[in-house]
């Protein structure tokens, strides 16, 4: 088994050169986040990830969480690791100082969270869901609920969950049936069953704060009749201490393909008198409130794709360095060397490495825009950055997770036959990655959101896509005019890919309202096209910056590596943009051609 080593050098390059760390740390409230502090944070997080989380990843996968009589026990080592995680302040890092958080920028937190997801995705899901619940409560709950729950949740002593899905509902939240009956004291009695609740029950924290979607007795039908409630595992006394056990129980945990260390619970609320819950915000606005949590989670799930791809790459590379088999092409007949010397193995590793770097660049770049949208003093700048964040959130989620499945599968292929054997560890990354395209909305849901609300139904339809294309086209023009043949080739390929993106985006804007089914048929290809082109643009920028540093006298294999991965991405990934454009603009009739009986 390999050991996870956080790619701190690449993380710092992306933070500083691509994602605009200097601009972010200049924002009001971020001034104390100096380069030295960021470096220290990354180094300490890398040590925690490698020394605490990675060692219990494979064992946690083998053992899994256990459920008996409604009590869920985490895999060995998880509770101790979580206690240390909380004691060392990692849970509070990105949170508001008003509630005990450290207030670090989202951009810095994103790099740290990638390490948790690489080292132990099952573990990382617990603080990820807590941070999303914190965001929803902080944005929408009353001051009383904030005072009661946020300090302990920010600290990490209490964890949080998201309770949306029900057995009959799936992703169709209009079908939610969980009921909430108002009480004389202002609380509500909650009754219903929720499924697929990540870390819905466990023994790692003192309390679990469930955010639950439910309907009031007189609520309108559909999504307009959903309200959001805080429903704690243990009720909280007036002095902040824990009181009686609430009327909720884990009925079972799922037996899953992967992430075995993360219990996925079936939660039963109100089997006796009704679980006590507290309304968040206003009645019947719960879905919009929950989207605060879901959008937060979608970016973080996209980051899971980055993290698990990085881990699979490192594992495959370690194997390729040590596995001796066959004679490399061009070598002496008796010369046997590690499989890293075989061209096809190098192709697979370059594919894994370059795509992971592009995914990281996209995730971090969007995280930087999130900070600017939140804290920039100029309202126009905030609005422009928020528009980009809204547009690219489904891309970060969908493109990165879809790619992670392919990358982790390639990691198995690098191992050959032993990759299919669990003991090598390569299988776990593929199994763990598989859920990421489904979490927080499938790729199809993300893609329909992208081409619908974020593109064709934007206030000025297509405006954000056009602005993004203009920025990418300017980069392509600079590189195409370069005297360096590698940079000019990258620029030419980027220019062609941006043209494909613009044509496809224009197609959706022109046809979405008149032929929505055709647009939906091309939505996932457009999501992949967008991720590939924006990722390729960021890789091209990385090449431009790396070459400038080399020209200035740097003698650095890392910078030469950035040039190589950018060139590979331009040659092997950017040409796919033209194929996806064709699938979008001409492929819908074939998608919709068959009669139902012909399938």
- Write out the catalytic residue numbers: 440
Burial class (CB in 10 A: 0-12, 13-18, 19+), 374: middle
The candidate with the shortest Cα–Cα distance to 533, out of 585, 573, 506, is: 573
Cα 289 → chain centroid: 19
**210 in helix, strand or coil?**
strand
Instruction: Determine the Cα–Cα distance for residues 564 and 347; give it in Å rounded to an integer.
Output: 12
Instruction: Determine the Cα–Cα distance for residues 315 and 528; give it in Å rounded to an integer.
Output: 26
Instruction: Determine the Cα–Cα distance for residues 23 and 323; give it in Å rounded to an integer.
Output: 45
**Helix, strand, coil percentages, rounded to 5, for the chain:** 60, 10, 25
Burial class (CB in 10 A: 0-12, 13-18, 19+), 444: middle
Burial 117-142 (b: 16+ CB within 10 A, else e): bbbbbbbbbbbbbbbbbbbbbbebbe
What is the CB neighbour count within 10 angstroms for residue 324? 10
Cα 311 → chain centroid: 15
Q: What is the CA radius of gyration of the chain?
A: 24
- Write down the residue that tokens 């929803």 correspond to: 136
- Write down the residue that tokens 């970016």 correspond to: 299
Helix (H) or strand (E) holding 141: none
């Amino acid at each position: 088994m390999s050991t996870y080593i956080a790619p701190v050098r690449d993380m710092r390059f992306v933070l500083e050169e691509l994602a605009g760390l200097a601009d972010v740390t200049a924002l009001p409230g971020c001034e104390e986040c100096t380069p030295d502090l960021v470096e220290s944070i990354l180094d300490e997080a890398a040590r925690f990830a490698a020394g605490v989380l990675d060692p219990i990843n494979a064992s946690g996968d083998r053992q899994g969480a256990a459920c008996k009589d409604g009590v869920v026990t985490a895999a060995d080592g998880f509770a101790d690791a979580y206690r240390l995680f909380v004691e060392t302040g990692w849970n509070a890092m990105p949170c508001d100082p008003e509630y005990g958080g450290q207030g670090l920028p989202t951009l810095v937190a994103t790099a740290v969270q990638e390490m948790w997801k690489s080292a132990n995705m099952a573990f990382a899901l617990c603080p990820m869901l807590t941070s999303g619940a914190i965001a929803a409560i902080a944005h929408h709950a009353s001051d009383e609920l904030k005072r009661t729950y946020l300090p302990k949740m920010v600290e990490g002593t209490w964890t949080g969950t998201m309770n949306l899905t029900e057995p009959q509902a799936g992703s169709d939240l209009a079908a939610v049936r969980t009921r909430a009956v108002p009480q004389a004291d202002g609380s509500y009695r909650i009754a219903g069953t929720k499924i697929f609740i990540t870390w819905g029950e466990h023994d790692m924290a003192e309390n679990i704060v469930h955010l639950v979607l439910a309907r009031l007795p007189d609520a309108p039908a559909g999504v307009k009749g959903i309200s959001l409630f805080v429903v704690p595992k243990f009720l909280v006394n007036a002095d902040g201490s824990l009181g009686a056990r609430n009327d909720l129980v884990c009925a079972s945990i799922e037996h899953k393909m992967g992430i075995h260390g993360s219990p996925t619970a079936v939660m039963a609320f109100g089997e006796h008198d009704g679980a006590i819950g507290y309304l968040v915000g206003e009645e019947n606005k719960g879905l919009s409130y929950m989207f605060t949590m879901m959008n937060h989670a979608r970016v973080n799930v996209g980051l899971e794709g980055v993290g698990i791809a990085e881990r699979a790459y490192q594992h495959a590379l370690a194997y390729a360095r040590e596995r001796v088999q066959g004679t490399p092409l061009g070598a002496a007949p008796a010369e046997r060397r590690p499989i890293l010397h075989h061209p096809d193995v190098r192709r697979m590793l370059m594919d894994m490495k370059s795509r992971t770097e592009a995914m990281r660049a996209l995730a971090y770049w969007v995280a930087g825009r999130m900070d600017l949208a939140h804290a920039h003093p100029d309202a126009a700048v905030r609005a422009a950055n928020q528009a980009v964040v809204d547009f690219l959130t489904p891309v970060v989620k969908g493109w990165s997770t879809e790619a992670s499945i392919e990358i982790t599968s390639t990691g198995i292929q690098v191992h050959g036959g032993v990759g299919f054997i669990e003991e090598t560890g390569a299988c776990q990354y593929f199994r763990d990655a598989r859920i990421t395209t489904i979490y927080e909305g499938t790729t199809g849901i993300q893609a329909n959101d992208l081409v619908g609300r974020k593109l064709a139904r934007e206030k000025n339809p297509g405006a954000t896509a056009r602005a993004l294309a203009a920025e990418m086209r300017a980069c392509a023009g600079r590189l195409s005019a370069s005297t360096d043949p590698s940079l000019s080739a990258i620029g030419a390929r980027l220019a062609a890919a941006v043209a494909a993106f613009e044509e496809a985006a224009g197609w959706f804007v022109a046809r979405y309202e008149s032929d929505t089914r055709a647009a939906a048929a091309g939505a996932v290809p457009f999501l992949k096209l967008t991720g590939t082109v924006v990722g390729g643009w960021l890789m091209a920028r990385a090449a431009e910056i790396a070459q400038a540093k080399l020209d200035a006298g740097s003698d650095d294999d890392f910078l030469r590596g950035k040039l190589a991965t950018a060139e590979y991405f331009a040659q092997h990934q950017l040409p796919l943009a033209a194929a996806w454009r064709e699938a979008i603009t001409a492929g819908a009739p074939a998608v919709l051609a068959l009669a139902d009986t012909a399938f």
